[in-house]
Amino acid sequence: MDQNSLQSRTFLAILIGVTIAFFVVLRPFYGAIFWAATLAVLFWPVHQRILAKMPTKRSVASLVTLSICVLVVIIPLLVIVTTLIKELLQFYARMSHEENTLQTYYSQILGVIPDNVWYLLDRVGLGTFAEIQPKLLGAANAVLKFFSTQALSFGQNTLQFGLAFVLMLYLMFFFFRDGATLTAMLRHTIPLDRRYSGQLASKFSAVVKATVKGNIAVAAVQGALGGLMFWAMGIQGPVLWGVVMAVLSLLPAVGASLVWGPVAIYFLTTGAILKGTLMIVVGVGVIGLVDNILRPILVGKETKMPDYLVLLSTLGGISLFGLTGFIAGPVIAALFMSVWAIFVAKKDEGSLGR
C-alpha cells in the first residue's frame, strides 16, 4: 500500500468517524431539525415569491416567510395540541373516577341487541362475544392510560418543548435565508453524479410535500369534520376524538369509521335514532368521501404510496421517533421507493455506475 492510498483511507476513516460523532451530538435535536426542514420545504414556494419582491433583503424575506408559517401552521397546531392534552387528561380523569363507565356503555349496547341477532351470532360462532368483555374493557383502559401518560409527560416537559420550539424557529429562519446555498453545497458534497443528486433532491422535496399534503392534510380534514360532528352532537372531547379519527384515517378502507361507527351504533341501540342515523350519513357521505376526493388532487401519481405502506411506515415512524414519525415514517418509505425506482431506471438504461 503506497503512502497516498494510506493517507486517503486514513482521511476517509477520520471523515466517517467525525460525521458519525457530529450526528450523535445532534441527536437530541433531531425533532427540531426535522420539523424545521419539513416546514422550510413546504413554505419554500411562498418564500421564493416573497424573495422576488425584495431580492436584496434575504433576511427580511426569511423573517416574513417565518412569520407567515407561524401564523398559518404553528399557532393553530399549538392551540390544537394544548386543547387535546387538556381533553385527554379530563377524559382519563372522568373514566378513572367512574370505574364502571365503559362497563355501563358496553352493557347498554348488549342489552338492546334483539334475541334474533344473538341467535344469528350463535349460528356463525360469535355468540360468545360477550365472554371477551373483560379483555375488551382491559384493552380500552390500557390504551387510554397510555395516551394519558404520554400527555402528562408532554405537559411536564414544557421547558424541553419550549427549547426545541425556539430552536426550530431559529433553524427555519436560516433554512429560508440560506436554503439555496445549503442545497447546492450538499449536492456538491455528496459523492454522486450530479444527475442522481439532483433527482434525489427533487424527489425529497416532492415526497415531503406529497406526504404532508396528501396524508396529513387529508387526515386533518377528516379529523376536523369528525370533531365538528361530535361537537355538534354534544359528545365530550370533540378535539380528542377528532385527533383520533385523523390518525385512524391512515388505515385503508375503515379509517375514521372505527371511532364514529361504534358511537353511531351506541346511539341507535340506546334509542337516539336520529343522532345515530345522522352520524352514519355524515360519516359515510362526507368524511368517507374526503379521501377519495382530496387525495388525488393533493398527491401526484408519481409519489403516491400504497395505503398499506402508508400505514406501516406511519406506525413504524411513530414507534421510533414519536410524534415526528407521523411524517418521518412515510417520508422515509417514499424516499426508499424513489431511490430504488431511480436505481432500477438507471440500471435498465445501462447508465448506472458511469
The per-residue DSSP string of 265-298 comes to: HHHHHTT-HHHHHHHHHHIIIIIHHHHHHHHHHH
How confident is the model at residue 193, as a pLDDT? 66
What span, in angstroms and rounded, lies between the C-alpha atoms of 207 and 217?
14
How confident is the model at residue 286, as a pLDDT? 84
How confident is the model at residue 270, as a pLDDT? 75
How confident is the model at residue 119, as a pLDDT? 62
How confident is the model at residue 96, as a pLDDT? 58
What span, in angstroms and rounded, lies between the C-alpha atoms of 170 and 32?
10
Chain CA centroid to CA 156, Å: 23
How confident is the model at residue 329, as a pLDDT? 82
Which stretch of DSSP H or E encloses residue 260? helix 257-269
* DSSP assignments along 119-161, one per residue: HHHHHTT-GGGGGGHHHHHHHHHHHHHHHHHHHHHHHHTHHHH
Rg (CA), the chain: 25
How confident is the model at residue 106, as a pLDDT? 54
**Cell numbers placing 349:** 438504461
How confident is the model at residue 147, as a pLDDT? 58
Chain CA centroid to CA 292, Å: 19
Cell 385503508 found at: 252
How confident is the model at residue 73, as a pLDDT? 85
How confident is the model at residue 351, as a pLDDT? 56
Q: What is the pLDDT of residues 22-41, one digit of tens each?
A: 888 888 888 888 889 888 88
Q: pTM for this one?
A: 0.67
Whether 223 contacts 286, CB under 8 Å? no
How confident is the model at residue 312, as a pLDDT? 81
Q: Which of 163, 166, 176, 206 is nearest to 68 (CA)?
A: 176
What span, in angstroms and rounded, lies between the C-alpha atoms of 160 and 205?
29
The identity of residue 270, as a single letter, is: T
What span, in angstroms and rounded, lies between the C-alpha atoms of 48 and 197?
22
Residues of the chain with pLDDT under 70: 1-4, 89, 91-158, 190-199, 203, 250-254, 295-305, 307, 323, 349-354
How confident is the model at residue 172, as a pLDDT? 92
To the nearest 5 percent, what fractions of the chain are helix, strand and coil?
85, 0, 15
Q: Where are the domains of the chain?
A: 26-189, 191-354
- What 3-state class would DSSP assign to 305? coil
